[in-house]
Amino acid sequence: MIVVMDLRVGAEEIKAVEDMLAEYGYRCHAIYGEERLVLGAVGAQKGEIPPGLETMPGVIDVVRITKPFKLVGREVKIEDTVVETGKIKLGGGFFSVMAGPCAVESMEQLSASARAVRSGGAVGLRGGAFKPRTSPYAFQGLEDVGLQYLRRAREETGLAIVTEVVNPSDVARVADTADIIQIGARNMQNFPLLREVGQLRKPVLLKRGLSATVEEWLMAAEYILSEGNYQVILCERGIRTFETYTRNTLDLSAVVLAKRLSHLPVIVDPSHATGHWHLVKPLALASMAAGADGLLIEVHPEPARALCDGPQSLTPEHFNELMTELGALAPVLGKKLWQGVEESGS
């Protein structure tokens, strides 16, 4: 349920309400506004409203949350959540692009990728050190060495680092390097992993599962928020359908729905959604038009030599073209293509 409180009351009155809710088995998540405090009370199995709650000092309103996702939904927080880290700013009209190779392959490859995506206008460098591969015989990533290269690339370019974690026991180690931790599509319902990243206080990029409904995706995000980490970015990366010309089918309606149902920023990964580099630009532009808050794009200095996902990777030249077109489209849509700094005079 949601308990709306008047912030003119003191800390004691707020604590009394929180204590009362705790007695009934609720955990409170506080969202502070200018004049009001919204307590998102979740987790009580019985879902009872404590008698007398509505008349406690400072309580303005008590409302049941109707949706199964509680903290993730717009019922508890109407305004967009803006996730900001390093040069990245997503949500509330800010649109950021994160790009880079599927996997960190070598320092040379990563440096070349980082320089290319930075000069195109990306604010985040995405590259995998731990790769969740379908085949156990495929390249699994450079692991700790890959993390070390990512740290060096951040030093060289100033880009924020986005990288995936696959195993709950690696979360602390990956979080040490990452500015944003990625949970891949295959792990969207790895609940111990979700709970573990929920303990962090840094942003988590949660990809939609291969065959997950919008509700399952939002419930996966709820796991992370319920642990106290409210900085979650939802990422649509295509779903399984009968179509074989594309790797997956980009579900743009899910972007619109997720934005409507949730206050969290929603981004799109048109690279994994399509599997083909020539489909990436049109669908990236369509994603911005559909209301996405950002993009994750695979870029490789030499796609033909990539150890994974070469066919869907843009060359630096194609990435530049895409960024130019996004820059032209953003103002038409009332969005700001975020480059890490406010332009002077704006």
Specify the residue, 80 or 269, whose C-beta has the smaller distance to ligand PEP: 269
> Among residues 185, 295, 299, 337, which is the contact residue for ligand PEP, using CB under 6 A?
185
Residue 301, CA distances (Å) to 69, 129, 334 in order = 41, 17, 32
Question: Dihedral of the CA atoms 308, 178, 222, 198 (nearest 10)?
Answer: 130
Question: One symbol per residue from 118 to 157: x for binding ligand PEP (CB under 6 A), - otherwise; what is it?
Answer: ----------x---x-------------------------
- Helix/strand/coil percent split, the chain, to 5: 40, 20, 40
- Is residue 283 within 8 A of residue 268, CB to CB? The reply is yes
- Is residue 235 within 8 A of residue 189, CB to CB? The reply is no
From the list 44-52, 81-89, 179-187, 212-220, the region that binds ligand PEP by CB under 6 A is: 179-187
From the list 162-170, 209-217, 233-241, 302-310, the region that binds Mn ion by CB under 5 A is: 302-310
Neighbour-count burial of 210, counting CB atoms closer than 10 A to its CB (0-12 exposed, 13-18 middle, 19+ buried): middle
Specify the residue, 3 or 161, whose C-beta has the smaller distance to Mn ion: 161
Q: Provide CB contacts within 8 A for 226, sequence distance 6+.
A: 27, 42, 43, 70, 71, 198
Specify the residue, 268 or 337, whose C-beta has the smaller distance to ligand PEP: 268
- List the single partner that 237 binds among ligand PEP, Mn ion, none, CB under 5 to 8 Å by kind: ligand PEP
The site for ligand PEP, by CB under 6 A, has a size of: 10
Specify the residue, 126 or 154, whose C-beta has the smaller distance to ligand PEP: 126
Beta bridge mates, 36:
6
What does the binding site for Mn ion look like in residue numbers (CB under 5 A)? 102, 309
What does the binding site for ligand PEP look like in residue numbers (CB under 6 A)? 102, 128, 132, 184-186, 207, 237, 269, 272
